[in-house]
Amino acid sequence: MAENTNNAKPKMNYRLSRMLLVSLSLVAVQAAAERPVEVHEYTITVDYALKNLWVEARFASPVHSISARSRDAGKFLVDVRGCDSEQDIHLRNRRMMLPTKGIECINYTVDLSKAARHDRNYRGLKPDNIIVSPSIWLWRPEITRRSEIRAQFHLPQDVRISVPWPAIDGVANTYRLARSPESGNAQVVLGKFDYDELQIPGSTLRVALLNTGAPIDRPAILNWLGDTATNISLAYGRFPNPSPQVVIVPVANSRSDSAVPFGRVIRDGGETVQLFVNVDKPVADYGDDWTATHEFSHMMLPYLRQKHRWISEGFAQYYQNVLLTRSGTYDEQLGWQKIVDGLRRGRKSRPELSPNGAAEGGIRTGMMKV
């Protein structure tokens, strides 16, 4: 009995120590949660001709590192200097060289018209509406769990903006940029384009319909988008994102015979679904095209890294067929046949590779395996 009692004492001490460690950890977590988030204030002014963009960034505390995500960002930077002095700030690659004591505020100018021509995919747009990624114009310190950016845009009359970031209620054209996955380049749309908010079960789609000069049936496109997004709610009763950005780019004389020749989901500062629609096709054909359903289906999963891409793509491929069948676009036999055909294509494609292996290293011929 004495031996058993002596053995119990160290165990009790050990348990007590663990309880104390857990308590201290919880206190530390709570203290971190109560610590205020640092907010960097950005004021962004766009000129009436969409040629220049002026940025004033006032930081919550002195920062020692400011950079842009794109290596090409320096090509579009016209000038940069501290707000409170005439001291020039020099660039090294995509990083600003700052004073050793840090800096609290910078002003810089971006050649917006030049930046808008950076991506060849958008050169068919009318000059009065542009898409330009923040990766080539937003110079910022690192965004952490304890910091964020509040971006307020000053726009000319009749100029609209569409961004993936959540809006700050009660302040016009003001948005919150918090830490997020950076799976691509966010889409900031500026200019004279059509903007609509579509209400669907559990969500509001913020739709930017760009102008390429091609004739478009706006009401029909909005109906198609609403129906397609509503179909996604057939998976588990609601749409997976409460307010995603949707960017529609009309294209004419497309090399593809598809009604919706290209689409993608961008997880960067929020979630964006971008769809290129073929205006040479009647909008009635859009509903039979699987592209939009596939891209919206991606949003039912969180962001997955490249090596797990096969899970994301396989999931969306499966659900595009399930949801198009549930909505009545496909009959049941066609829905199952498309799933079986897809699995067969995957089995035949690069049989020596696993799905993970096909997803790594940019192996184009492994796409069907993915």
Q: Find the Cα–Cα–Cα–Cα dihedral 139, 140, 141, 147, rounded to 10°.
A: -170
Q: What is the mean pLDDT of the chain?
A: 89
Per-residue pLDDT, 354? 83
Nearest residue to 144 (alpha-carbon basis) of 271, 32, 304 = 32
Residues 6+ apart with CB under 8 A from 162: 187, 188, 189, 193, 195, 206, 208, 245, 247
Instruction: Give the least confident one: 194-198, 276-280, 332-336, 357-361.
Output: 357-361
- % of the chain residues with pLDDT over 90: 67
Q: Residue 259 has which token pair? A: 């009604």
- Supply angle C-alpha 188, 191, 195, rounded to 5: 80
Per-residue pLDDT, 6? 47
Q: Residue 362: pLDDT above 80?
A: no
Per-residue pLDDT, 8? 47
Per-residue pLDDT, 69? 94
> Would you call 367 exposed, middle or buried from its count of C-beta atoms within 10 A (0-12, 13-18, 19+)?
middle
Q: What is the pLDDT of residues 133-192, one digit of tens each?
A: 999 999 999 999 999 999 999 999 999 999 999 999 989 999 999 999 988 889 999 999
Question: For residues 324 and 335, is the Cβ–Cβ distance under 8 A?
Answer: yes
In the chain, what is the greatest distance between 2 CA atoms, to the nearest angstrom? 92
Per-residue pLDDT, 4? 42
Instruction: Tell me the C-alpha distance between 63 and 89, whole Å.
Output: 13
Sheet harboring 77-82: ordered strands across? Answer: 77-82, 103-111, 52-63, 38-46, 147-154, 174-177
Q: Which residue has the tokens 């799933």?
A: 339
What is the pLDDT confidence band of residue 370, given thresholds at 50, 70 and 90? Answer: confident
Q: Residue 193: pLDDT above 80?
A: yes
What is the pLDDT confidence band of residue 308, given thresholds at 50, 70 and 90? Answer: confident
Question: For residues 177 and 151, is the Cβ–Cβ distance under 8 A?
Answer: yes
Instruction: Tell me the C-alpha distance between 57 and 353, whole Å.
Output: 48
Q: Residue 200: pLDDT above 80?
A: yes
Q: Classify strands 103-111 and 52-63 as parallel, antiparallel or unpaired.
A: antiparallel
Per-residue pLDDT, 358? 80
Q: What is the pLDDT of residues 217-261, one digit of tens each?
A: 999 999 999 999 999 999 988 899 999 999 999 998 878 899 999
Q: Residue 237 has which token pair? A: 């009763």
Nearest residue to 140 (alpha-carbon basis) of 58, 71, 78, 54 = 58
Q: What is the pLDDT of residues 7-30, one digit of tens each?
A: 445 555 666 667 666 666 665 555
Q: Residue 208: pLDDT above 90?
A: yes
Per-residue pLDDT, 310? 85
Per-residue pLDDT, 356? 79
Nearest residue to 274 (alpha-carbon basis) of 359, 213, 188, 191 = 188
The residues pairing with 162 across neighbouring beta strands, listed in sequence order, are 189
Per-residue pLDDT, 1? 42
**How far from 142 is each of 92, 115, 124, 133, 308, CA to CA, in Å?**
17, 22, 34, 17, 26
**So what's the architecture of 31-119+135-179 in CATH?**
Sandwich (2.60)
Per-residue pLDDT, 22? 64
The CATH number of domain 193-299, selected from 1.10.390.10, 1.10.150.170, 3.10.20.600, 3.40.50.300: 1.10.390.10
Per-residue pLDDT, 26? 63
Q: Label residues 73-104 b or e (16+ Cβ within 10 Å = b).
A: bbebbeebebeeeeeebeeeebebebeeeebe
Strand, coil or helix: 47: coil
What is the pLDDT confidence band of residue 34, given thresholds at 50, 70 and 90? Answer: low
Per-residue pLDDT, 24? 64
Nearest residue to 347 (alpha-carbon basis) of 327, 334, 366 = 366
Per-residue pLDDT, 5? 43
Per-residue pLDDT, 63? 95
Per-residue pLDDT, 255? 83
Per-residue pLDDT, 14? 64
Q: In the chain, where are the structural domains located? A: 31-119+135-179, 193-299, 306-366
Per-residue pLDDT, 330? 96
